Amino acid sequence: MGQLTMKSATACMMPEHDRIGVVPRPIIVCADDFGLAPGVSDAILTLIAAGRLSATSCMTPLADWRRSASMLREIVARFPADVGLHLTLTDHAPLTPAPRVASNGRLPALGRMLARTLAHALPRDEIRDEVRAQLDAFEDHWGRAPDFIDGHQHVHVLPIIRDAVVEEVLRRYPAGQPWIRDCVESPWRIVHRRSAMPKALLISALAWRMRRLLRAHGIAANDGFSGVYDFSARIPFANRMKTFLDATGPRPLVHVHPGRVDAELLGSDPLTVQREIEFAYLMSEQFPAVLAAAALRPARYADVARGW
Protein backbone atom coordinates (compact mmCIF):
# COMPACT_ATOMS: atom_id res chain seq x y z
CA MET A 1 0.00 0.00 0.00
CA GLY A 2 1.40 3.39 -0.97
CA GLN A 3 2.49 5.86 1.69
CA LEU A 4 0.22 8.87 2.09
CA THR A 5 0.51 11.82 4.42
CA MET A 6 -2.39 13.31 6.33
CA LYS A 7 -1.98 16.42 4.19
CA SER A 8 -2.37 14.48 0.95
CA ALA A 9 -5.40 12.57 2.29
CA THR A 10 -7.05 15.84 3.29
CA ALA A 11 -6.38 17.26 -0.14
CA CYS A 12 -8.09 14.25 -1.73
CA MET A 13 -11.24 14.99 0.28
CA MET A 14 -11.29 18.75 -0.30
CA PRO A 15 -14.12 19.64 -2.73
CA GLU A 16 -13.85 22.45 -5.22
CA HIS A 17 -16.91 24.11 -3.66
CA ASP A 18 -14.77 25.26 -0.71
CA ARG A 19 -13.07 27.72 -3.06
CA ILE A 20 -16.34 29.33 -4.08
CA GLY A 21 -18.06 29.45 -0.71
CA VAL A 22 -20.40 26.44 -0.93
CA VAL A 23 -20.17 24.28 2.18
CA PRO A 24 -20.34 20.56 1.26
CA ARG A 25 -22.65 18.24 3.18
CA PRO A 26 -21.20 15.14 4.86
CA ILE A 27 -21.93 11.66 3.51
CA ILE A 28 -20.81 8.28 4.84
CA VAL A 29 -18.87 6.45 2.12
CA CYS A 30 -18.72 2.86 3.39
CA ALA A 31 -16.86 -0.08 1.87
CA ASP A 32 -18.44 -3.41 2.71
CA ASP A 33 -16.67 -6.77 3.07
CA PHE A 34 -13.46 -5.91 4.92
CA GLY A 35 -11.92 -9.28 5.87
CA LEU A 36 -13.43 -11.19 2.96
CA ALA A 37 -10.04 -11.72 1.30
CA PRO A 38 -6.61 -10.03 1.44
CA GLY A 39 -7.18 -8.28 -1.88
CA VAL A 40 -10.41 -6.74 -0.61
CA SER A 41 -9.01 -5.73 2.77
CA ASP A 42 -5.85 -4.19 1.31
CA ALA A 43 -7.83 -2.18 -1.25
CA ILE A 44 -10.05 -0.79 1.52
CA LEU A 45 -7.00 0.14 3.60
CA THR A 46 -5.59 2.03 0.62
CA LEU A 47 -8.85 3.91 0.08
CA ILE A 48 -9.16 4.91 3.73
CA ALA A 49 -5.60 6.25 3.70
CA ALA A 50 -6.38 8.17 0.52
CA GLY A 51 -9.39 9.86 2.13
CA ARG A 52 -11.87 8.23 -0.25
CA LEU A 53 -13.76 6.21 2.40
CA SER A 54 -15.13 7.24 5.78
CA ALA A 55 -16.31 3.80 6.97
CA THR A 56 -15.84 0.08 6.43
CA SER A 57 -17.75 -2.94 7.75
CA CYS A 58 -15.95 -6.15 8.68
CA MET A 59 -16.72 -9.85 8.17
CA THR A 60 -15.55 -11.33 11.45
CA PRO A 61 -16.18 -15.05 10.71
CA LEU A 62 -13.58 -15.00 7.92
CA ALA A 63 -9.87 -15.70 8.36
CA ASP A 64 -8.71 -12.47 6.75
CA TRP A 65 -10.40 -10.45 9.51
CA ARG A 66 -7.92 -11.94 11.96
CA ARG A 67 -5.03 -11.13 9.60
CA SER A 68 -6.04 -7.61 8.69
CA ALA A 69 -7.67 -6.16 11.84
CA SER A 70 -4.36 -4.90 13.22
CA MET A 71 -3.52 -3.19 9.92
CA LEU A 72 -6.93 -1.54 9.88
CA ARG A 73 -6.35 -0.28 13.42
CA GLU A 74 -3.06 1.32 12.35
CA ILE A 75 -4.62 3.02 9.33
CA VAL A 76 -7.67 4.30 11.21
CA ALA A 77 -5.43 5.73 13.93
CA ARG A 78 -3.90 7.99 11.24
CA PHE A 79 -6.92 8.44 8.98
CA PRO A 80 -10.06 8.22 11.15
CA ALA A 81 -13.02 6.23 9.84
CA ASP A 82 -15.95 4.35 11.32
CA VAL A 83 -15.36 0.59 11.62
CA GLY A 84 -18.34 -1.71 11.96
CA LEU A 85 -19.55 -5.28 11.95
CA HIS A 86 -20.71 -6.67 8.59
CA LEU A 87 -23.02 -9.36 9.99
CA THR A 88 -22.41 -12.45 7.83
CA LEU A 89 -25.23 -15.01 7.74
CA THR A 90 -25.02 -16.30 4.16
CA ASP A 91 -22.59 -18.36 2.06
CA HIS A 92 -19.83 -18.77 4.67
CA ALA A 93 -19.08 -20.95 7.69
CA PRO A 94 -20.63 -19.68 10.93
CA LEU A 95 -18.68 -19.08 14.13
CA THR A 96 -21.17 -21.18 16.13
CA PRO A 97 -22.33 -24.76 15.42
CA ALA A 98 -25.79 -23.54 14.27
CA PRO A 99 -26.89 -27.06 13.22
CA ARG A 100 -30.36 -26.01 12.02
CA VAL A 101 -29.25 -22.84 10.21
CA ALA A 102 -26.03 -24.26 8.75
CA SER A 103 -26.77 -27.98 8.63
CA ASN A 104 -23.74 -28.78 6.46
CA GLY A 105 -21.41 -26.38 8.25
CA ARG A 106 -22.09 -23.55 5.83
CA LEU A 107 -24.65 -20.77 6.07
CA PRO A 108 -27.33 -20.86 3.35
CA ALA A 109 -27.26 -18.79 0.17
CA LEU A 110 -29.22 -15.54 0.26
CA GLY A 111 -32.24 -16.93 -1.61
CA ARG A 112 -32.63 -19.77 0.87
CA MET A 113 -32.06 -17.47 3.85
CA LEU A 114 -34.64 -15.01 2.53
CA ALA A 115 -37.23 -17.76 2.08
CA ARG A 116 -36.66 -19.09 5.58
CA THR A 117 -36.85 -15.68 7.23
CA LEU A 118 -40.04 -14.73 5.40
CA ALA A 119 -41.56 -18.05 6.47
CA HIS A 120 -40.36 -17.42 10.05
CA ALA A 121 -38.58 -20.77 9.84
CA LEU A 122 -35.26 -19.74 11.35
CA PRO A 123 -34.34 -20.87 14.88
CA ARG A 124 -34.14 -17.65 16.85
CA ASP A 125 -31.69 -19.04 19.39
CA GLU A 126 -29.14 -19.97 16.73
CA ILE A 127 -29.41 -16.57 15.03
CA ARG A 128 -29.02 -14.86 18.42
CA ASP A 129 -25.96 -16.96 19.25
CA GLU A 130 -24.32 -16.25 15.88
CA VAL A 131 -24.93 -12.50 16.17
CA ARG A 132 -23.31 -12.59 19.61
CA ALA A 133 -20.36 -14.65 18.37
CA GLN A 134 -19.68 -12.28 15.49
CA LEU A 135 -19.78 -9.28 17.83
CA ASP A 136 -17.44 -11.15 20.20
CA ALA A 137 -15.03 -11.79 17.32
CA PHE A 138 -15.13 -8.12 16.41
CA GLU A 139 -14.41 -6.96 19.95
CA ASP A 140 -11.69 -9.61 20.47
CA HIS A 141 -9.61 -8.26 17.56
CA TRP A 142 -10.67 -4.59 17.63
CA GLY A 143 -10.62 -4.04 21.38
CA ARG A 144 -13.94 -2.24 21.61
CA ALA A 145 -17.49 -2.20 20.27
CA PRO A 146 -18.12 -1.57 16.58
CA ASP A 147 -19.03 1.95 15.54
CA PHE A 148 -21.97 0.50 13.59
CA ILE A 149 -23.61 -2.71 12.39
CA ASP A 150 -24.87 -3.67 8.95
CA GLY A 151 -25.32 -6.94 7.09
CA HIS A 152 -23.62 -8.83 4.30
CA GLN A 153 -26.22 -8.87 1.51
CA HIS A 154 -28.32 -6.67 3.84
CA VAL A 155 -29.35 -9.66 5.99
CA HIS A 156 -29.67 -7.47 9.08
CA VAL A 157 -33.01 -6.13 7.80
CA LEU A 158 -34.59 -9.58 7.38
CA PRO A 159 -37.30 -10.87 9.75
CA ILE A 160 -36.01 -12.65 12.87
CA ILE A 161 -32.46 -11.43 12.12
CA ARG A 162 -33.37 -7.77 12.61
CA ASP A 163 -34.99 -8.58 15.96
CA ALA A 164 -31.89 -10.48 17.07
CA VAL A 165 -29.63 -7.58 16.08
CA VAL A 166 -31.67 -4.95 17.91
CA GLU A 167 -32.13 -7.11 21.01
CA GLU A 168 -28.41 -7.86 21.22
CA VAL A 169 -27.44 -4.22 20.73
CA LEU A 170 -29.78 -3.15 23.53
CA ARG A 171 -28.54 -5.92 25.81
CA ARG A 172 -24.87 -5.50 25.06
CA TYR A 173 -24.46 -1.75 24.79
CA PRO A 174 -26.94 -0.13 27.22
CA ALA A 175 -24.76 2.95 27.72
CA GLY A 176 -24.51 3.85 24.04
CA GLN A 177 -25.30 1.77 21.02
CA PRO A 178 -23.54 1.51 17.70
CA TRP A 179 -25.51 3.05 14.86
CA ILE A 180 -27.18 0.61 12.49
CA ARG A 181 -27.44 0.88 8.72
CA ASP A 182 -30.90 1.89 7.50
CA CYS A 183 -31.42 0.53 3.97
CA VAL A 184 -34.67 2.37 3.20
CA GLU A 185 -34.59 4.17 -0.14
CA SER A 186 -37.47 6.08 -1.68
CA PRO A 187 -39.30 4.25 -4.50
CA TRP A 188 -38.97 7.40 -6.62
CA ARG A 189 -35.16 7.25 -6.45
CA ILE A 190 -35.11 3.55 -7.24
CA VAL A 191 -37.38 3.87 -10.26
CA HIS A 192 -35.61 7.02 -11.47
CA ARG A 193 -32.24 5.21 -11.34
CA ARG A 194 -33.55 2.36 -13.54
CA SER A 195 -31.02 -0.13 -12.24
CA ALA A 196 -31.69 -3.32 -10.27
CA MET A 197 -35.17 -2.04 -9.44
CA PRO A 198 -36.65 -5.33 -8.09
CA LYS A 199 -33.60 -5.87 -5.87
CA ALA A 200 -33.57 -2.31 -4.54
CA LEU A 201 -37.33 -2.21 -3.97
CA LEU A 202 -37.22 -5.52 -2.05
CA ILE A 203 -34.34 -4.38 0.17
CA SER A 204 -36.09 -1.10 0.91
CA ALA A 205 -39.43 -2.77 1.65
CA LEU A 206 -37.82 -5.20 4.10
CA ALA A 207 -35.84 -2.37 5.68
CA TRP A 208 -38.96 -0.40 6.70
CA ARG A 209 -39.57 -2.77 9.63
CA MET A 210 -35.97 -2.35 10.75
CA ARG A 211 -36.32 1.43 10.56
CA ARG A 212 -39.37 1.29 12.84
CA LEU A 213 -37.50 -0.91 15.32
CA LEU A 214 -34.53 1.45 15.38
CA ARG A 215 -36.67 4.51 15.94
CA ALA A 216 -38.81 2.81 18.58
CA HIS A 217 -35.68 1.97 20.60
CA GLY A 218 -33.80 5.21 19.96
CA ILE A 219 -30.97 3.55 18.03
CA ALA A 220 -29.08 5.89 15.72
CA ALA A 221 -29.06 5.29 11.97
CA ASN A 222 -28.29 6.95 8.68
CA ASP A 223 -31.22 8.56 6.85
CA GLY A 224 -30.53 8.24 3.15
CA PHE A 225 -29.14 5.10 1.51
CA SER A 226 -27.73 4.27 -1.92
CA GLY A 227 -25.33 2.01 -3.77
CA VAL A 228 -27.57 -0.90 -4.77
CA TYR A 229 -27.03 -2.17 -8.32
CA ASP A 230 -26.70 -5.45 -10.22
CA PHE A 231 -22.88 -5.50 -10.14
CA SER A 232 -22.73 -5.61 -13.92
CA ALA A 233 -20.34 -3.51 -16.00
CA ARG A 234 -22.92 -2.56 -18.62
CA ILE A 235 -23.10 0.95 -17.15
CA PRO A 236 -19.81 2.69 -16.24
CA PHE A 237 -19.43 2.84 -12.48
CA ALA A 238 -18.75 6.58 -12.72
CA ASN A 239 -22.27 7.03 -14.12
CA ARG A 240 -23.74 4.84 -11.39
CA MET A 241 -22.06 6.90 -8.69
CA LYS A 242 -23.62 10.09 -10.02
CA THR A 243 -27.08 8.55 -9.56
CA PHE A 244 -26.15 7.22 -6.10
CA LEU A 245 -25.30 10.77 -5.01
CA ASP A 246 -28.52 12.32 -6.31
CA ALA A 247 -31.14 13.29 -3.66
CA THR A 248 -29.18 11.56 -0.93
CA GLY A 249 -31.24 12.36 2.19
CA PRO A 250 -30.45 14.27 5.41
CA ARG A 251 -27.91 11.76 6.87
CA PRO A 252 -26.80 9.89 3.77
CA LEU A 253 -24.76 6.75 3.25
CA VAL A 254 -23.47 5.23 0.01
CA HIS A 255 -22.02 1.72 0.18
CA VAL A 256 -19.40 0.36 -2.20
CA HIS A 257 -17.56 -2.93 -2.79
CA PRO A 258 -13.96 -2.20 -3.86
CA GLY A 259 -11.22 -4.80 -3.95
CA ARG A 260 -8.39 -6.48 -5.78
CA VAL A 261 -8.96 -9.97 -7.15
CA ASP A 262 -6.81 -12.67 -5.55
CA ALA A 263 -7.02 -16.44 -5.18
CA GLU A 264 -8.84 -16.23 -1.85
CA LEU A 265 -11.53 -13.95 -3.30
CA LEU A 266 -11.97 -16.19 -6.34
CA GLY A 267 -12.56 -19.12 -4.01
CA SER A 268 -15.03 -17.40 -1.72
CA ASP A 269 -17.19 -14.87 -3.56
CA PRO A 270 -18.73 -14.45 -7.03
CA LEU A 271 -18.17 -10.67 -7.08
CA THR A 272 -14.66 -10.24 -8.44
CA VAL A 273 -13.80 -8.07 -11.47
CA GLN A 274 -16.38 -5.40 -10.59
CA ARG A 275 -14.54 -4.90 -7.30
CA GLU A 276 -11.45 -3.92 -9.27
CA ILE A 277 -13.54 -1.48 -11.31
CA GLU A 278 -14.96 0.13 -8.19
CA PHE A 279 -11.51 0.35 -6.60
CA ALA A 280 -10.02 2.03 -9.66
CA TYR A 281 -12.85 4.55 -9.80
CA LEU A 282 -12.71 5.40 -6.10
CA MET A 283 -8.93 5.96 -6.34
CA SER A 284 -9.28 8.11 -9.45
CA GLU A 285 -9.76 11.88 -9.53
CA GLN A 286 -13.27 11.32 -10.91
CA PHE A 287 -14.63 10.40 -7.49
CA PRO A 288 -13.67 13.56 -5.55
CA ALA A 289 -14.83 15.57 -8.57
CA VAL A 290 -18.30 14.00 -8.57
CA LEU A 291 -18.54 14.47 -4.80
CA ALA A 292 -17.64 18.14 -5.26
CA ALA A 293 -20.25 18.52 -7.99
CA ALA A 294 -22.85 17.10 -5.60
CA ALA A 295 -21.58 19.35 -2.76
CA LEU A 296 -20.73 16.31 -0.61
CA ARG A 297 -17.68 15.15 1.35
CA PRO A 298 -16.84 11.79 2.98
CA ALA A 299 -17.47 11.89 6.72
CA ARG A 300 -17.98 9.67 9.75
CA TYR A 301 -21.44 9.15 11.20
CA ALA A 302 -20.94 11.65 14.02
CA ASP A 303 -20.36 14.44 11.50
CA VAL A 304 -23.22 13.25 9.30
CA ALA A 305 -25.59 13.27 12.28
CA ARG A 306 -24.57 16.83 13.11
CA GLY A 307 -24.75 17.89 9.47
CA TRP A 308 -21.19 19.27 9.51
DSSP letters of 255-272? Answer: EE------HHHHTT-S--
Cα–Cα dist 71/273, whole Å = 24
| pLDDT greater than 50 at residue 15 | no
Query: Where in the chain are the domains?
Result: 6-306
Cα–Cα dist 135/55, whole Å = 17
Q: Identify the DSSP state of 106.
A: S
Longest dimension (CA), the chain: 60
Whether 15 contacts 291, CB under 8 Å: yes
Taking the CA of residue 22 as centre, how many other CA atoms within 13 Å lie in the half-sphere pointing to its CB?
14
Torsions phi, psi for 296 (to 5 deg): -130, 155
pLDDT single digits (tens) 189-241? 898 887 889 999 999 999 999 999 999 999 999 999 999 999 999 999 999 99
Determine which helix (DSSP H) or strand (DSSP E) holds 58, and give its type and residue range. Answer: strand 55-58
| pLDDT greater than 60 at residue 172 | yes
pLDDT of 70 reads: 96
Q: Identify the DSSP state of 47.
A: H
- SS3 of 28, please? strand
* 150-177 residues labelled b (16+ CB within 10 A) or e (exposed): bbbbbbbbbbbbbbbbbebbeeeeeeeb
pLDDT of 25 reads: 96
Closest CA to 274 of 241, 232, 304: 232
Closest CA to 242 of 307, 193, 186: 193
pLDDT of 173 reads: 95
CB contact set of 218 (below 8 Å; sequence gap of 6+): none
Dihedral of CA atoms 163, 164, 165, 169 in degrees, nearest 10, equals 100
pLDDT single digits (tens) 91-112? 999 999 999 999 899 999 999 9
Q: Identify the DSSP state of 223.
A: B
Nearest 5°: the CA angle 60, 303, 31 is 35
The phi-psi region of residue 123 (left if phi > 0; otherwise alpha if psi is between -120 and 50; otherwise beta) is beta
Q: Name the CATH architecture for the domain at 6-306.
A: Alpha-Beta Barrel (3.20)
Whether 280 contacts 260, CB under 8 Å: no
Q: Identify the DSSP state of 177.
A: P
| pLDDT greater than 50 at residue 17 | no
Question: Does this model's pTM top 0.85?
Answer: yes
Q: Identify the DSSP state of 252.
A: -
Gyration radius of the chain over CA positions: 18
